[in-house]
Amino acid sequence: MPPRIRPATPADLPQILHFIRALATYEKLLPEVEATEEKLGATLFGPRPAAECVLAFTDGDTPAGFAIFFPNYSTFLARPGLYLEDLFVSPEFRGRGIGKALLRHLAGLAHQRGCGRLEWSVLDWNQPAIDFYESLGAERKTEWTICRLSGPALAHYALPANLG
């Protein structure tokens, strides 16, 4: 039986936070998680949602995985895109096509919305994920390096005295 995928609702916030923490644990990044149900509620379901979330269910109504994504834009294509921030399938449900179903769902949304691409990042040590994505036909863009301002560096650079 294929997984059932649906948009998340505010009632799903505890499950979404559970999946985020499980993903962070897998990626050895749990200390970096600042997300709370309140913060997620404001950013996923508030007046100006910053992202969207879909949940995958299997074996009836058992939550098996999730994906969080948001719009981006390609100047080269002059078209919108979707950026997949997180995709996670609980270990006990892996190998059952749930990750593939989530990506297929997002590809369908991107196509319906006229997007030129669906993009995401993967940790360079996560070979199982890399192999999975490549098996779907995803192209790795190894010539790009992610740059990030966050935390104190972002706050410092955002100060008016530092913008010149």
> Once rounded to an integer, what is the mean pLDDT over residues 106-130?
95
DSSP letter at 140 equals: P
Whether residue 133 lies in the annotated active site: yes
Please return the burial class of 22, using the count of CB atoms within 10 Å of its CB with bins 0-12, 13-18 and 19+.
middle
How many domains, in total, are found in the chain? Answer: 1
User: What's the domain range around 23?
Assistant: 4-162
Nearest to 66 by CA among 156, 111, 112, 3: 3
What local confidence, expressed as pLDDT, does residue 14 receive? 98
Question: Taking a C-beta distance cutoff of 8 angstroms, is the pair 44, 53 a contact?
Answer: yes
Choice among 26, 73, 83, 133 that is catalytic: 133
This prediction's pTM? 0.92
The pLDDT of residue 159 is 83
CATH number of the domain that residue 19 is part of:
3.40.630.30
Q: Are 82 and 110 a contacting pair, CB within 8 Å? A: yes
Q: Which residue would you say has higher pLDDT here, 157 or 41?
A: 41
